[in-house]
Amino acid sequence: MTQSLRYLTLEDRALVAVTGSEAGGFLQGLLTQDVEDLPEGGLRYGALLAPQGRLLMDLFILATADGVTLDVARDRRDDLIRRLTMYRLRAKVEIAPVGGEVAAVFGQGAPGEGWIVDPRLAELGWRGYDAVRPDTATPAARADWDAHRIALAVPDMADFGEDATYPIEANLDLLAAIDFRKGCFIGQETTSRMKRRGQIKSRMLPLSFDGPAPAPGTEVLKGELRAGVVATGVEGRALALVRLDRIEGDLTADGRPVAVTPPSWLEGAATTAP
C-alpha cells in the first residue's frame, strides 16, 4: 500500500452542472443516490442506470449553492447530458458542461482544506475540485492510482463498462452508491430485488498473479469451467467479474495461476455465493 501522500489529476473525468430550483428533486428520481438532503459542499457517490437496472455510468454528486455538479467519466459526459435533457420535460433545471479539474490524493497524511474524503471508501483517499495541490504530496502516475484502487477492489467505468453490469455486481451497494431507502430511481426495481432476495451470483473482485495483467476480456477458468472475466489490471493485480460459487480452488487466466484476494471490507457476505 502507498505510504507517502500522492497527487494526480484525473484527466478521464469531467463535470456537468445541474442547476435551478428543482435540480434536487429532478435528480432524486433518476439517480441511485439521495440528492435532496445533500448539504452544500457535500459529496456522494451514485450512478445512473438503464431502466432494466444495468449500469450506464457512475458519478459523484457535489452539492453547490445553486444545484449540483456531477463528476462523470469524460467519455460519458455528452451521453449524460443527453439523457438528463431527455428526462427534464418541464422541470426548472439547467444542464450544461462546466470546466474544472478533478484530482485525487491518496496515501498517508492529510491534504488540507478543499479536499473531500472519497465517499466510496475512506482508504481510497480524497477527491478535489479545483483544489490546491498539497505541499506534501508528490506526483503520481495514472498507473499508481489504478494499482491503489484495484488493490482495494474499487472499480471504475473501464471495469464495468456501459449497460453490461448490474451495480451490485460492481459492488456499488457496498461503496455507498445506492440508497435503498430514498424511493424510486431508474432501474430501482431490479436493483432492490437483487439485494432483497440475495440473488447476487457474481461480484467484481481483485485477482493476484505474477507478471503483467491479462488483457481485459480474458476468461478466468476453474478447470474447464468459466469462472469470470478480467476487467482492467496492473502488474500483479486485476479486477475481474467472477462467479461467487467458483472462486475457491485452482483458477487460471491466460494460462497462468490466479487467486481471488479480496480486501477486508469485501470479505464475508460479499464473497459468499447465495
What CATH number did the domain enclosing 254 receive? 2.40.30.110
Indicate whether 212 and 181 sit together in one domain: no
Q: How high is the pLDDT of residue 268?
A: 66
Indicate whether 190 and 257 sit together in one domain: no
End-to-end distance of the chain based on CA atoms, in angstroms? Answer: 32
Where among 177, 197, 217 does a domain terminate?
197
**Model pTM score:** 0.93
Where among 143, 170, 197 does a domain terminate?
197
Residue in the structure block whose three cell numbers are 459492488: 171
CA distance linking residue 119 with residue 71, whole number of Å:
13
Indicate whether 230 and 113 sit together in one domain: no
- Which of 184, 195, 13 lies closest to 87 in space, CA to CA? 184
Q: What's the total number of domains in the chain?
A: 2
Average pLDDT, rounded, for the chain: 93
Where among 165, 197, 229 does a domain terminate?
197
Q: For residue range 32-51, list pLDDT tens digits in order.
A: 999 999 999 999 999 999 99
Indicate whether 48 and 111 sit together in one domain: yes
Indicate whether 181 and 274 sit together in one domain: no
CATH number, domain with residue 36: 3.30.1360.120
pLDDT-derived band at 269 (thresholds 50, 70, 90) equals low
- Domain range for 217 is 201-274
- Which of 80, 60, 59, 68 lies closest to 20 in space, CA to CA? 68
Residues in the chain: 274
Q: For residue range 166-220, list pLDDT tens digits in order.
A: 999 999 999 999 999 988 999 999 999 988 877 788 999 999 999 999 999 999 9
Q: For residue range 148-163, list pLDDT tens digits in order.
A: 999 999 999 989 888 8
